[in-house]
Amino acid sequence: MSTKNVSRSIWRKVQKMPSVEGVFGINKPTGLSSAQVLRDCQKVFHDSKLFAPHLRDMKAQLLRDNHNQRQRRKVKDPKVKIGHGGTLDPLATGILIAGIGTGTKSLQDFLLCTKTYEAVVLFGTGTDSYDRLGKVLTHAPTEHITKEMVEKALDQFRGKFMQLPPLFSALKMNGKPLYEYARENKPIPRDIERRPVEVEELEMLEWMEPGTHNHKPPTDEAGHAEINLAKLVWKQESILPPKSPESEKVAKENFEDKKRKMSENQDELVQERPKSKRKTDAVKTESDPDAEPVMSGGLPEPVASTEVAAKVPDATVESVEAAPESPKSLGPPAARIRMTVTSGFYVRSLCHDLGVAVGSAALMAELERTRQGQFSVGNDNVLEYDDLSKGEEVWAPKLESMIKAWENKTEATKAEAGAEAKSEAPVKEEVSGDAVKMEDAQAKFTEAAEQLAEEVKSEGESPSKVFEAAA
């Protein structure tokens, strides 16, 4: 800790000022960027009584520093220094680590820690951003996708592998974020490099059949320029590791089975309708031997609905009522998955790649970061974003308690590290002293042995016999 920070810490203790510098978590809502959440915190903190002494202290320090400079400048009112330990997409919710003042120096540690996410994967549609906020690039069939197929495909994403980040990401190329190339429809200077990632835990929490959930695919279709740009980056054939012969065989069997079922469904849609003697007849009898096949759902001649219901045979009515709704009309299936991953992992990429792995497409419909380091949703060290709008009497005691807990843990960690270093020091000195004593003893023994050998040799006796006799 620098001299400036030490003096500020001592001053706070003398004045009995509450400490507001440290690290805490905030539960980010959907629809807001990480930067916007921090700006909201900064504004609320700046206008509060809790941070007033801290801001006065900061301004006094700025005035002292300005007084010692040759060219003095006008000192502006300081703002609360705040940063985050890992961004979250606007779509995502959950843990956002925030650091205040000297706490920002500890944020780097949270970029390297493991994180736990829960995501909803929606199959059948692929977008340029790999989530439901992007523009649609592709539509793919989903009738063949089953819960067992998805669970088996998840095996490909456990452990260590190389992941291709999405085009819409915060990664930079030649100093420019990738998403800016995408928004400006400009080609990227070079291929996006894969990054080593690790998935420590991955499981399916819930399987949602078509029609059992409210997740809908986006409808905003991408233009030609966006599709052409995506083709340069989005190469599905190279996203996943090579498939095994067994998985290729299963995929082929699923495709053939799907074709057979589609053919059977089309045959079932053909029904026989009796031929009419007059073109104005709206309903024909089923016993007409000259009946012609007609596609179910075809529009009949305009007649009253009650008349049609009265004249249609009972069997036909039953078949229409019993006809199951097609999977396509029910919407795509979805799955809720939970994963614990290392730094630099993109959940959107996993959702996209999972769709490719099951012979379809997929996007991320929901995302929640439930844990980052020692901060978890619902814990005492995580502030709810909604508390900021409930007044200082609500959020201030909670934040003060969180900062105090962070300080206590930091001091305990430093004390433990100091105790370990202190306990190791005497051991090293003792070991070093024993080594010196051993070397001295060996040197004296060697010197005595050489002297004895010379004496024995001068007397004409064999040194080996003398040592044997001594033994």
Cite the active site residues.
89
In angstroms, rounded to a whole number, what is the distance separating the alpha carbons of residues 97 and 424?
34
- How big, in percent rounded to 5, are the helix, strand and coil portions of the chain? 45, 20, 35
Supply φ then ψ for residue 159, to 5 degrees: 90, -155
What is the three-class DSSP state of 254? helix
Interacting residues of 172 by C-beta distance below 8 A, sequence separation 6+: 178
Alpha helices in 217-274 (DSSP H): 224-233, 245-268
CA distances to 46, 396, 466 from 109, rounded to whole Å, are: 26, 26, 68
Q: β-pairing, 382-384 with 22-28?
A: parallel
Compute the distance between CA of residue 137 and CA of residue 130 in angstroms, rounded to an integer. 10
178 φ/ψ sector (left φ>0, alpha ψ -120 to 50, else beta): alpha
**Separation of alpha carbons 382 and 446, rounded Å:** 69
Q: Say how far apart CA 111 and CA 88 lie, in whole Å.
A: 12
Q: How many CA atoms lie within 13 A of 113 on its CB side?
A: 15
Q: Which residues pair with 206 in a beta bridge?
A: 336
Return the residue matching tokens 């523009």.
135
Number of C-beta neighbours around residue 118 at 10 A: 20
CA 37 to each of CA 34, 69, 147, 386, 418: distance values in angstroms, whole numbers, following the listed order: 5, 35, 37, 11, 37
CB 115 within 8 A of CB 371: yes
Helix 392-458 and helix 463-470, axial crossing angle in degrees, nearest 10: 120
CA-wise closest residue to 348 among 85, 100, 120, 152: 120
User: What tokens were used for 201?
Assistant: 């835990």
Going by their DSSP bridges, the two strands 136-139 and 125-127 should be labelled as antiparallel
- Give the Cα separation of 77 and 56 in Å (integer): 9
